[in-house]
Copies of this chain bind each other. A is one copy, B any other.
Amino acid sequence: MTESTSHAPPDVDRLLDARDLETLKGVLAAMPQSDVASLLAERSEADQVILFRLLDKDRAIEVFEQLDVDQQRRLLEGFTEERAREVIASLDPDDRARLLDELPAKVAKRLLQALPPAAREATATLLGYPEQTAGRIMTPEYVDLRATMTAGEALARIRAIGLDRETIYTCFVVDATRHLLGTVSLKDLVLAPPGALVAGLMTPNPVSARTEDDQEEVARLLSRHDLLAVPILDREGRLVGIVTVDDVVDVLEAEATEDIYRMGAVETGDASYFRAGIGSAVRQRIGWLLLLLATNTLTSQIISSQADLLTVSVVLAAFIPLLTASGGNVGAQSSTVVIRGLAVQELSWKRAPATLLREGAVGLLIGLALGALAFGWAAWLSGSLAVAAVVGGTLVVVTTLASLTGTLLPLVFARLGLDPALMSTPFITTVVDVVGVLLYFAMARVVLERLH
């Protein structure tokens, strides 16, 4: 990696401490804007405001746009009302909508009212769409062309209006009522003879999405079709905006984080987990833990109901964590691969029977291997072949059931239209705990009572 990728060159810290703002201004001016953004993100709020003031106006906006919404919000709080209005007005409509959404309603309303009428209208429109939809992340700043233009006329229009548009690499061909007829790339316009008609150069019936579509679906659409921008249509099929490729990674990473958090039984909050307060972190975690604790009261109830058996053969207790942990781990593995398979659309309900069969077979094979080892270990530790047989046998059955449970639950959740990642590793583990303990004592009772 070249030097341009390393964050926060050490002299920034030194210059900040020394309050040598003149030199610092020069250092910042020489850095790529996204490195300035990373650098800002790592500082305290007070330092952020100082650093931000040292940027020239155009650059300040560009850097501001690269910060995440959370950082933008906190930076705004350090600005004067006038500076805040200025920054807000210079943002792209989609970025502005996302930021206003995060501010207290009263502040957002005041800032919105201070905008020029056109900007206010564009932002208010975007704010009208539900969160996490295409309508919310699209921008109305696209290049529109007519099918009857020549390539030369189209290029002239792009030269005239292109500077203000989010992208000029994909242009959108509409009719008089703004219905989308096709898309044409700047590449095709540049490579074509100047007299060629846009109608002949455009891709008719292009891939498109609706304002109400989920942002993750739209991101996957762009990625799957290798597009630089996708047109967004309203219910009447009129072009109202575009989503560009630079939003795709942010959207997919946010969705991956949400999945990963859920798989770890953590709820996603409004802000990043690490930037949120301790109270908020506890709230993101306690819900699932309480549910899992309640579920686990079942294991203690089951075990305490077997006090007679445990009194006879106290060594049985020694293998409980080994059995539940191994079963839990296998279940966690299955749910991990299934949840991920569903997320990247490699698995679907249609393949559920084949997947269950396969994961059942994998679980059984793994169970036989682990069961044989556990049998040996239990025989050595307890000195009883009967106890060893119960431990080994339970492990084979629990492992197979765990593999099936870890596969089935996320598939069923997906089928019901719920997020399969809600079937988190801790949840599967806890379910397997209960089943495992139940099976263990049932098997122990059969085997050991036959012996005694």
Chain A contact residues, CB within 8 Å of chain B? 1-2, 4-5, 32, 34, 38, 66, 155, 158-159, 162-163, 168-169, 186-187, 190-191, 205, 207-210, 213, 217, 221, 223-226, 228, 233, 245-246, 248-250, 252-253, 256-257, 259-261, 263-266, 272-274, 278, 281-282, 285-286, 288-290, 292-293, 296-297, 299-301, 303-304, 307, 310-311, 314-315, 317-322, 324-326, 328-330, 332-333, 335-337, 339-341, 344, 346-347, 351, 355, 358, 361-362, 365-366, 369-370, 373-374, 377-378, 381-382, 425-426, 429-430, 433, 437
Main secondary structure of the interface of A (DSSP, over half): helix
Query: Are A333 and B266 closer than 8 Å at their CB atoms?
Result: yes
Interface centre among A5, A252, A290, A433 (most CB of B within 10 A): A5
Bound CA span A253–B253, Å: 9
Give the shortest distance, in Å, between A340 (CB) and chain B (any CB). Answer: 5
Give the shortest distance, in Å, between A148 (CB) and chain B (any CB). Answer: 21
Q: Which residues of B contact A224 (CB under 8 A)?
A: 34, 38, 66
Bound CA span A191–B330, Å: 59
- Known contacts A191-B159, A253-B252, A433-B321; A366 and B285 CB within 8 A of each other: yes
Contact of A281 among B209, B317, B362 (CB under 8 A): B362
Least CB separation from A279: chain B residue: B365
Residue pairs across A and B with Cβ atoms less than 8 A apart, 15 shown, are A1-B217, A32-B207, A158-B191, A163-B191, A169-B187, A186-B187, A263-B336, A266-B337, A274-B358, A278-B358, A285-B333, A292-B325, A292-B326, A304-B381, A314-B317
* Contacts A34-B224, A264-B336, A278-B358 supplied; 4 other A-B pairs, CB < 8 Å: A2-B208, A169-B186, A278-B365, A310-B317
Q: Which residues of B contact A340 (CB under 8 A)?
A: 257, 260-261
Give the shortest distance, in Å, between A58 (CB) and chain B (any CB). Answer: 15
Give the shortest distance, in Å, between A251 (CB) and chain B (any CB). Answer: 10
Q: Which residues of B contact A336 (CB under 8 A)?
A: 260-261, 263-266
Give the shortest distance, in Å, between A59 (CB) and chain B (any CB). Answer: 14
Bound CA span A253–B220, Å: 11
Give the shortest distance, in Å, between A67 (CB) and chain B (any CB). Answer: 12
Q: Which residues of B contact A191 (CB under 8 A)?
A: 158-159, 162-163
Query: Are B322 and A299 closer than 8 Å at their CB atoms?
Result: yes
Least CB separation from A319: chain B residue: B300
Query: Are B257 and A344 closer than 8 Å at their CB atoms?
Result: yes
What is the copy number of this chain in the assembly?
Answer: 2
Query: Are B168 and A330 closer than 8 Å at their CB atoms?
Result: no
Contact of A249 among B159, B208, B252 (CB under 8 A): B252
Least CB separation from A30: chain B residue: B205
- Known contacts A158-B190, A187-B169; A315 and B307 CB within 8 A of each other: yes
Bound CA span A66–B273, Å: 36
Interface centre among A225, A249, A264, A299 (most CB of B within 10 A): A264
Q: Which residues of B contact A226 (CB under 8 A)?
A: 34, 66, 246
Contact of A337 among B162, B250, B261 (CB under 8 A): B261
Query: Are B365 and A264 closer than 8 Å at their CB atoms?
Result: no
Bound CA span A336–B257, Å: 10
Q: Which residues of B contact A318 (CB under 8 A)?
A: 299-301, 303-304
Contact of A317 among B273, B282, B317, B333 (CB under 8 A): B317
- Known contacts A163-B191, A249-B249; A278 and B329 CB within 8 A of each other: no
Query: Are A333 and B264 closer than 8 Å at their CB atoms?
Result: yes
Query: Are A320 and B317 closer than 8 Å at their CB atoms?
Result: yes
Contact of A253 among B228, B278, B329, B344 (CB under 8 A): B344
Query: Are A210 and B2 closer than 8 Å at their CB atoms?
Result: yes
Q: Which residues of B contact A378 (CB under 8 A)?
A: 300
Bound CA span A317–B370, Å: 24
- Known contacts A278-B358, A337-B273, A361-B278; A366 and B289 CB within 8 A of each other: yes
Bound CA span A285–B334, Å: 9
Across the A-B interface, the 7 shortest Cβ-Cβ residue pairs: A264-B336, A304-B318, A317-B317, A303-B318, A299-B321, A329-B426, A223-B249
